Structures are given as C-alpha cells and as structure tokens.
Amino acid sequence: MKRRLSWIIILAVVGTPLLASALSRSIDRDIEFPKGYEEKKAEAIRKVIRSENYEFVDGIVSYWPPDWGTRLSFKGDAAKLNSFMSELRELKGISMRLILYRGRNDESRRDSPWQLDYSHARPNQLTIYLNLNAPDLDFSKIKFPEWPSN
C-alpha cells in the first residue's frame, strides 16, 4: 500500500507540469478569438498585429479559464510602440488598457519591451503590457494615445 501511494505521489509530481503546459501553446502573429466574435473587428486587430512594421518576438495562447488569453510579445523603439498604440486606438469598438510592469531580463527570462494581451473575458478590450525595464525603449519619447472618457 505504501509503495502504491509513493508511485501515485511521484506520478502526480511529474505529471502536473505536463498538464499545465498542455493548457497553453505557442502562437504566431494571431489571436484566438471566441466563436462568433465579430469577424470585421477580428480582422482589424489582425491587420495591426500582423504588420511587418512591428517586430514580433513570441506568442502564447492560454486555455486557463476564465481568461482564455492570447499574449503576443513585440520589440522596437518608442516610435514603433507609438505607432502600434495609435493603430490599435483607432479600432472602432475596441478599448485599450495599459499596464506598466517591471519585466525580467536575466538568464531565466527575457521579457520583451511590450506585449499585447487579448482575453475572452474582455472580448472588446486589448491590454498593452509595457516593460519598464526594457533597455532599448526610451520612455521620454513615448506618446500615449488619448483615451476619451466613457
């Protein structure tokens, strides 16, 4: 009985990371929109994220409820970020949220200068994560688009 319990514990410890990684996968310059999402909006967003004006680094889709999120990482200077935010801000029916964070840049992980996040929980909102520790981003040159009040 003890031996069986030991094997169950070992399998649980080994299997948990495999299960967690099965709930996310890599993605290219795309977003997994929910079924029935307005195709015109989806294509307008895809046009921006697929633009060769912005250097794509990596993407991941997470199947963790309730978010079911897609996170796309980009790099570039302040002018590229300004253009990226302006294009997204012009999309009709899509709101934008900005989150500033202190990203990592060490042997464990290298965070990109900015990331775009789409969540099924907030289907008409895009979130930009701006890495305050990005070495190649001059924050004095960033021009935040106007966010009119609702």
Domain boundaries, the chain: 25-141
Q: How many helices (H) and strands (E) does the chain have?
A: 3, 6
Residue 12 has pLDDT above 60, yes or no: no
**90-131 pLDDT, tens digit each:** 999 999 999 999 888 766 677 899 999 999 999 999 999 999
- The per-residue pLDDT of the chain, averaged, comes to 86
Cβ neighbours of residue 10 closer than 8 Å, sequence gap 6 or more: none
Sign (positive/negative) of CA torsion 102, 136, 55, 52?
A: positive
Residue type at 28 in one-letter notation: D
Q: Residue 40 half-sphere exposure, CB side, CA atoms within 13 Å?
A: 4
pTM over cut 0.85: no
